[in-house]
Amino acid sequence: MVFRRGGPEVGSARHPDSALTLKPGVRLLREWGGRTHQVTVTDDGFDYGGKHYRSLSEIARTITGARWSGPRFFGLRKRQGRRFETGATADA
């Protein structure tokens, strides 16, 4: 399952960035700088570019060179309260 910016709510496994929940195995895609960047959710963080990261914010910083909210960078936006939703579409 792949999530792109602009679609349904994401899974249920918790990760360190916040109250955001994503299931291990979910792939997040983000186009930036003329490239498509793919992140895979793991049980204890995220894999990107052959490295393991604890947060989406670390990955967003690696990609852009600037401080970003990782959930925001990957198209996950905060709803009321502490839950996040995604504007992602699922590709099976």
Residue 53 has pLDDT above 80, yes or no: yes
pLDDT in tens, 62-87: 999 999 999 999 988 665 454 555 55
Residue for token pair 């960078």: 73
| Whether this model's pTM surpasses 0.85 | no
Tell me how far apart the terminal alpha carbons of the chain are, to the nearest angstrom. 5
List of residues 6+ apart from 13 with CB closer than 8 A: 21, 22, 23, 24, 41, 43
Please give the average per-residue pLDDT across 29-39, as a whole number: 96
User: b or e along 31-52 (b: 16 or more beta carbons within 10 Å of the residue's beta carbon)?
Assistant: eeeeeebebebbeebbebeeee
